[in-house]
């Protein structure tokens, strides 16, 4: 599942504002982050979105077990749950909240976007 398809429709300016608010800076070679290094805009957006969504799930009781170099995250449901990918964690959480996965993902992203844009 491509997480970006659930948050599509962002203009280039909004993508830039979102990344800048999250600590990224634009360079001639792409977008640079102290955590993720320099990446093209699509990968930078994917990495940041993955981070924001996993942090939002942490607030709902999930644990972040770790990130891969490619920007994927392993999650665990509470203390005893089995490890799973972020997309599976989103599916489980959406089922729990009785929401479509796209709706949950988009609402978590919007919360992160509004947080990054400030008051």
Model confidence over 15-65: pLDDT tens digits? 888 899 899 999 999 999 998 889 998 889 888 888 999 999 999 999 999
* pLDDT of 72 strictly over 70: yes
Sequential DSSP letters for 30-90: EEEETTTEEE-HHHHHHHHHHHHHHHHHHTTTEEEEEE-TTS-EEEEETTTSPEEEHHHHH
pLDDT for the residue numbered 1 = 43
The token pair at 62 is: 């999930």
Q: Kindly state whether residue 62 falls inside one of the protein's structural domains.
A: yes
Q: Kindly state whether residue 75 falls inside one of the protein's structural domains.
A: yes
Q: Kindly state whether residue 2 falls inside one of the protein's structural domains.
A: no
Q: Kindly state whether residue 76 falls inside one of the protein's structural domains.
A: yes
Give this prediction's pTM: 0.82
Structural domains counted in the chain: 1
The pLDDT-based confidence of 66 (bands split at 50, 70, 90) is confident
- In a 3-state reduction of DSSP, which class is residue 111? helix
Q: Estimate to the nearest angstrom the gap between the alpha carbon of 73 and the chain centroid.
A: 10
Which of 30 and 69 is assigned the larger pLDDT?
30
pLDDT for the residue numbered 110 = 83
Q: Kindly state whether residue 24 falls inside one of the protein's structural domains.
A: yes
pLDDT for the residue numbered 18 = 86
Q: How many CB atoms lie within 10 A of CB 98?
A: 7
């Amino acid at each position: 599942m491509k997480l970006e398809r659930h948050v599509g429709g962002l203009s280039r300016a909004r993508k830039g504002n979102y990344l800048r608010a999250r600590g990224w800076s634009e360079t001639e070679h792409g977008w640079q982050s102290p955590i993720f290094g320099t990446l093209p805009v699509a990968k930078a957006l994917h990495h940041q979105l993955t981070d924001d969504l996993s942090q939002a799930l942490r607030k709902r009781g999930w644990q972040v077990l770790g990130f891969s170099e490619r920007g994927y995250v392993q999650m665990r449901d509470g203390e005893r749950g089995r490890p799973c990918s972020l997309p599976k964690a989103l599916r489980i959480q959406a089922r729990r909240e009785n929401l479509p996965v796209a709706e949950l993902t988009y609402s978590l992203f919007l919360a992160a976007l509004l947080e990054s844009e400030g008051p």
